[in-house]
């Protein structure tokens, strides 16, 4: 739930110490990526003057979202319930959300943001949208560097336009590589173009 009076120790440690839980498997490069995403989310939540616990939850989502990125998809598949809807590269999101839930994290908005950070989700709130954007914009990414810098400059003020451009860019990449567009991404795209009506 949003605005929890007390936040779970895993969320607290991720937000305030950039610490990952003991079960996380991340390379050094991945650690610098998640810290970069956490910093962007921290900056945006502060700029938006969100309350303190909400800022902490945003930073934690950035730090934790790829906590199982280094685990074999066959192992992740056992962690995820309806695993047949997830292709291998997408499994680390729902698997991480599942692990966090088993560890006692009950923050549904944060769990949803992490589970669907690669695909997007039509019922994303601001945290889900922010993580989806930040994961794509963080300065460590090597491709379309100038475009990413421009998007970062426009955040969080020009939020909706950046979200639309980021989602379009991600979908275009899938099309260029002849990869399937997940159904949940199609639904997310429809919501973006409808202005989340
Ligand atoms: Fe990821
Ligand atoms: Fe990521």
Examine the pLDDT at 27 and tell me if it is beyond 90: yes
- Taking the whole predicted model, whether its pTM rises above 0.85 is answered as yes
Q: Which ligand is nearest to the CA of 97?
A: 1
Whether 4 is in a domain gets the answer no
Query: What CATH number does residue 84 fall under?
Result: 1.10.3210.10
Averaged pLDDT score across all residues of the chain: 94
Residue 144 is given by DSSP the state: S
Answer yes or no: are the C-beta atoms of 92 and 76 closer than 8 Å. Answer: yes
Separation of 67 CA from ligand 1 center, angstroms? Answer: 9
Whether 3 is in a domain gets the answer no
Whether 1 is in a domain gets the answer no
Q: Which domain holds residue 107?
A: 9-193
How many structural domains does the chain have? Answer: 1
Q: Spell 37-58 as b/e; 16+ CB within 10 A means b.
A: bbbbbbbbbeeeebeebbbbbb
Examine the pLDDT at 197 and tell me if it is beyond 80: no
Q: Which ligand is nearest to the CA of 131?
A: 2
Whether 127 is in a domain gets the answer yes
Instruction: State how far the Cα of 55 lies from the Cα of 48, in Å rounded to an integer.
Output: 9
Which one, of 90, 53, 68, 56, lies nearest residue 20 by Cα? 68
What's the pLDDT band for 89 if we cut at 50, 70, 90?
very high
What's the pLDDT band for 85 if we cut at 50, 70, 90?
confident
Whether 89 is in a domain gets the answer yes
Examine the pLDDT at 1 and tell me if it is beyond 80: no
The string of pLDDT tens digits covering residues 107-162 is 999 999 999 999 999 999 999 999 999 999 998 888 899 999 999 999 999 999 99
């Amino acid at each position: 739930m949003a605005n929890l009076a007390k936040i779970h120790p895993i969320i607290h440690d991720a937000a305030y110490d950039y610490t990952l839980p003991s079960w996380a498997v991340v390379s050094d490069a991945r650690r610098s990526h998640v810290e970069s995403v956490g910093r962007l989310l921290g900056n945006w939540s502060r700029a938006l003057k969100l309350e303190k616990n909400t800022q902490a939850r945003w930073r934690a989502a950035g730090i934790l979202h790829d906590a199982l990125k280094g685990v074999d998809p066959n192992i992740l598949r056992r962690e995820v319930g309806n695993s047949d809807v997830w292709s291998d590269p997408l499994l680390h999101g729902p698997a991480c959300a599942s692990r966090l839930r088993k560890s006692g994290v009950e923050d549904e908005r944060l769990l949803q943001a992490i589970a669907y950070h690669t695909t997007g989700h039509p019922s994303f709130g601001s945290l889900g949208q922010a993580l989806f954007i930040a994961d794509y914009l963080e300065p460590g990414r090597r491709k379309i560097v100038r475009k990413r810098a421009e998007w970062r400059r426009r955040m969080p003020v020009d939020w909706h336009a950046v979200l639309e451009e980021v989602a379009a860019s991600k979908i275009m990449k899938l099309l260029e590589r002849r990869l399937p567009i997940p159904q949940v991404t199609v639904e997310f795209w429809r919501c973006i173009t409808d202005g989340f009506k």
